Amino acid sequence: MTVYGLIDCNSFYCSCQRAFEPRLKRLPVVVLSNNDGCAIARTAEAKGLGIKMGDAWHLIRNERKLSGVQWYSSNYPLYADMSRRVYQVLLEHVPRVEPYSIDEMFLDLTGLPGDLADRCEMIRARVEQITKIPTCVGWGPTKAIAKLANYIAKDRPEMEGLCDLTDELVRMRFYRNLPVSEVWGIGRRLVPRLQGAGIRTIAQFVEADPAQIRKIMAITGVRLQAELRGESCLKLSEIAEQRKGLACTRSFGQPITSYSDMREAIAGFAARAAEKLRAEKMDAGHVSVFIQTNPHRRQDGWYANQAAITCAPTNNALTLIGTSTRLLRAIWRDGFRYAKGGVLLNDLAPAGQQSSLFDQPEEQSPALMDAMDAINRRFGREAIKPLSTGVERAWRPRQGMLSPRFTTGFGEVMEARAW
């Protein structure tokens, strides 16, 4: 019988910050989204103070009861490296691991010797010892059941971080008592429609007529029913499929009002997107650029537009900056306060394959990009960069509470006092 596990890191971003700052151990910690906008990760202590996901920092920061909260800007280089460490530890104990998100991984536990609960407990202990990140593990015969088991392990302290849903009778007991909204893939919009059909609990969902479910949520719903009955439909995939599109977009730290600042920002996004393309050895054959004002401040005037063009496949930063800048010029309007912009690349294909006979050979030499990537790998991101991407970058996102990159920047590693 197949057995899938799902291991989920508790308040992952906060736990990464705590790993390197023991003084945070019992303090409420909150990590904010890009631009220090809103809460995206909270420790149990922060949840206990009433901080919700998505709470805007500038609205709650001065509340007296939150004066002890430790706020952090999101430090993605740190989180990516810690996710890599968690993944590697897992691979030492199970043969196949699927990194489903930065903080959740599916495990293939099929046919492993010994007691599964013991093994999962040992895996949790090892992950915590090596990465300092606490986790919960749930397991069962399908991925959807493993996901639900994980939710139960996390939600109920008495489970002590583990939940085994391999037994059908155990499963049915939980199904009868859990709302259908706890099922993986059943989002807020589907819940009222399911309730309208008399489906409130997971048990009711599993027992519902597949024809009815198909009407409400198409074939995915029918598959989900099968998964919850214990018939595996979703397989483990060890890495993400080749992507179809790639984007680099940002909210600006302060609104952009001048064309030259926006040109800098867009050139920066194009350069970053091109760098990601080259890292994946892909070319893009379609470029689009968008800019928009803040939709929540329409009294300041509202404008949003985008432009796109098909081009000869390339991953050259200079070519893509040129194309993006031309697109920006077509959509730019003076007199607005722009809050967000981005560059999206599509029609991705393996690098170096010319798509048609009539494509011009690249004017820009790939050697320059190779050299730029090599220098930046060695001396750090943007050690050299196209000047069009700006120097001062007044528009750059606010990251006022950024911790050091403890594991990826040699000048920023954790410090220990010789005692």
Chain residues binding other proteins by CB under 8 A are: 22-23, 25, 84-86, 88-89, 126, 129-132, 370, 374, 406-407, 410, 413-419
Look up residue 19 and give its two tokens.
Answer: 């790993």
- The 8-class DSSP code of residue 187 comes to -
Least distance in angstroms from the C-beta of 409 to other proteins: 10
Least distance in angstroms from the C-beta of 137 to other proteins: 18
**Which residue lies nearer to other proteins by CB, 387 or 418?**
418
- Across 126-156, b (16+ Cβ under 10 Å) vs e yields ebbeebebebbbbbbbbbbbbbbbbbbbbee
Strands 135-140 and 162-164: parallel
- Give the count of beta carbons closer than 10 Å to the beta carbon of residue 16: 30
Phi, psi of 210 (to 5 degrees): -55, -35
Nearest alpha-carbon partner for 328 in 262, 385, 273:
262
Least distance in angstroms from the C-beta of 332 to other proteins: 39
Least distance in angstroms from the C-beta of 88 to other proteins: 4
**Which residue lies nearer to other proteins by CB, 96 or 396?**
96
Least distance in angstroms from the C-beta of 333 to other proteins: 44
Whether the Cβ atoms of residue 143 and residue 109 lie closer than 8 Å to each other = no
Angle at 186 (CA atoms; ends 55, 83), nearest 5 degrees = 60
Q: In angstroms, what CA-CA distances link 379 with 177, 390, 409?
A: 55, 19, 10
**Which residue lies nearer to other proteins by CB, 85 or 96?**
85
Look-up of token digits 């807020």: 188
**Which residue lies nearer to other proteins by CB, 8 or 164?**
8
Least distance in angstroms from the C-beta of 139 to other proteins: 22
**Distance in angstroms (rounded) separating the CA atoms of residues 317 and 163:** 48
**Which residue lies nearer to other proteins by CB, 239 or 418?**
418
Least distance in angstroms from the C-beta of 283 to other proteins: 20
Q: Is 47 exposed, middle or buried (0-12, 13-18, 19+ CB in 10 A)?
A: middle
Least distance in angstroms from the C-beta of 24 to other proteins: 8
**Which residue lies nearer to other proteins by CB, 38 or 102?**
102
- Across 373-382, b (16+ Cβ under 10 Å) vs e yields eeeeeeeeee
**Which residue lies nearer to other proteins by CB, 127 or 217?**
127
**Which residue lies nearer to other proteins by CB, 374 or 384?**
374
